[in-house]
Chain A
Amino acid sequence: MIIEARKLCKEYPAFQLKDVDILLPEGYVLGLIGPNGAGKTTTIKLLMNIIPPDAGEIRLFGMQWNEANEELIKQEIGYVGEEQPFYDQMSVKWTSNFVRQFYPNWDDEFYADLINRFEIDERNKVGDLSKGNRVRFALAVALAHKPRLLILDEPTSGLDPLIRHEILKILAEIISDGTRSILFSTHITEDLDKIADYIVLLNDGRVLLSDEKDQITAETKKVYLKRDDFHRLPSDLFIAHKMISNECVAVTTKFHELKRAYESITGDEPQAFGMSLDEVMLAYVKGEV
């Protein structure tokens, strides 16, 4: 396991993170999704040892966070925070030179490639970079030492679809050799979640859903039913529904079970549609269709 975090708890005056488990095997991508304020950033900061947990256990690459391991673990991580902090008054060049000293594996050539590919002028002050270029630069800095684990906190929030797609492609490229793993958080899905193997849905500091993404998308479906049929089906098959006169749109989290039950009632297949993770999230968090 690259990330093995169990029962993470962290209490703040106005917010509480409770019993969050995060498991990520090598070579895979985990998407931490949830609305704003769900606890995604707190979880990531706990995993990164930027803040200490009140309770719970964290192992990265099989190592626990402690004074002796801190450098070792972080040398294997590439991190891009939400609004990644940099010394904004310093130049891009100074910043990369500052950061590279701390990574024995820093690859100058690879870094130069990334900077060229992103078309970033190294003479610029970091604070003068556009939002998109700041993220690109942060990504270049995070990737230049070829980390085994990439941790990205809302990397694409507020960026246009073109840059989001570009970042998605880079991430897909990184994991293609099978030795690197990625954990990212996002509240807008529809892009990064495409490459996610595992999804952890957080809401209000708790894990609502944690599974292989394929399992989630295979079992969570939007179905159109007659009102009467809906009432004849077991209600625990659904997490949300909406009546429109005699029709009903419902979200099921147990599609195969529902299909069997529906077929035994009506002798027909239910009319079902796949859902994006955005819609899945909405159904779980708000109970809305």
Chain B
Amino acid sequence: MTALVYKDFYQTRKVLIYCLVIWAIFLGLAMINTSEGGVGLIYSAGIIITNTMLTRILYNEERYQGIYFMKTLPLKSSLIVTSKFVVGFILSAGSSLLVGLAASIVCRMGLHGLTTQDAIGATLVSFTFTLIFSGFFVKLYFAYGYAKVAQYMVLVTIGVVIVLSTIEAILKELAAKTGAITALNQPYWLVVPPLIGLITYTLCWRSALKSFK
């Protein structure tokens, strides 16, 4: 398992550095640019990094027939599938931590009026979103191959955004109607999105295991 995960990151190490540079630039921009957009850049770094890395890793497998290659080696098929989900998880968690790091730096510097809770919230929301994104990405990759996924992932992403924001809007409206809006602002509600993300991710993983032969 470690070997397979390490292989993916080692093969894309240049892209990883490139991603870190992008992150640093976004952070720099957020420090200079005090408008709303500056913070938006930091928040979007998570999905940009996850998407760039995952695309590159799966593209590599596609280009060099990596899955076929690995199937000729003494590796269980389930391990090949699971390793990609582990990679997706590490990317989601890692890139979200970078989002959190950037947000807390900005918060420490007293910019954008960010609070610690905002930084934690940003990390968790980014984690949720990138997790659901990579879950679908990897699942669809194993189901339909890279070409189709690359083509339709944008649509899937838009779909996920719409569904998530709809759920959020409905919840807020519901909370407002029932007068539970104060409860929703409690910090412990922050764990709900990552939980949804983890459940979705697990479902994608199980379904990929089942369908991949």
- Chain A residues close to B by CB (< 8 Å): 48-52, 67, 70-75, 79, 81, 85-90, 98-99, 101-103
Bound Cα distance A85, B69 (Å): 6
Does B151 interact with chain A (Cβ within 8 Å)?
A: no
Given contacts A74-B75, A101-B3, A103-B74, contact A50 B68 (CB under 8 A): yes
Bound Cα distance A72, B74 (Å): 7
A88:B73 contact, CB within 8 angstroms: no
Q: Choose one: B64, B65, B66, B76; the contact of A70 (CB below 8 Å).
A: B76
Bound Cα distance A120, B181 (Å): 69
Chain B binding surface, main DSSP class:
helix
A85:B64 contact, CB within 8 angstroms: yes
B contact residues, total (Cβ < 8 Å): 18
Tell me the minimal C-beta distance from B213 to chain A in angstroms: 5
List A contacts of B77 (CB < 8 A): 67, 70
A74 nearest in chain B by CB position: B74
- Chain B residues close to A by CB (< 8 Å): 3, 7, 11, 60, 64-66, 68-69, 71-78, 213
Instruction: Offer 14 A-B interface pairs, CB within 8 angstroms, sorted by A.
Output: A48-B72, A51-B213, A70-B75, A70-B77, A71-B75, A74-B72, A74-B73, A75-B74, A81-B72, A85-B65, A85-B69, A89-B60, A98-B3, A99-B73
Bound Cα distance A51, B213 (Å): 7
A88:B64 contact, CB within 8 angstroms: yes
Q: Choose one: A48, A51, A67, A87; the contact of B64 (CB below 8 Å).
A: A87
Bound Cα distance A48, B74 (Å): 11
List A contacts of B3 (CB < 8 A): 98, 101-102
List B contacts of A101 (CB < 8 A): 3
List B contacts of A49 (CB < 8 A): 71
Bound Cα distance A70, B213 (Å): 12
List A contacts of B68 (CB < 8 A): 50, 81, 85
Bound Cα distance A72, B73 (Å): 11
List A contacts of B71 (CB < 8 A): 48-50
Given contacts A50-B68, A86-B69, A89-B64, contact A67 B7 (CB under 8 A): no
Q: Choose one: B7, B11, B72, B76; the contact of A71 (CB below 8 Å).
A: B76
Bound Cα distance A245, B78 (Å): 65
Bound Cα distance A98, B73 (Å): 10
Bound Cα distance A85, B67 (Å): 9
A86:B64 contact, CB within 8 angstroms: yes
A81 nearest in chain B by CB position: B72
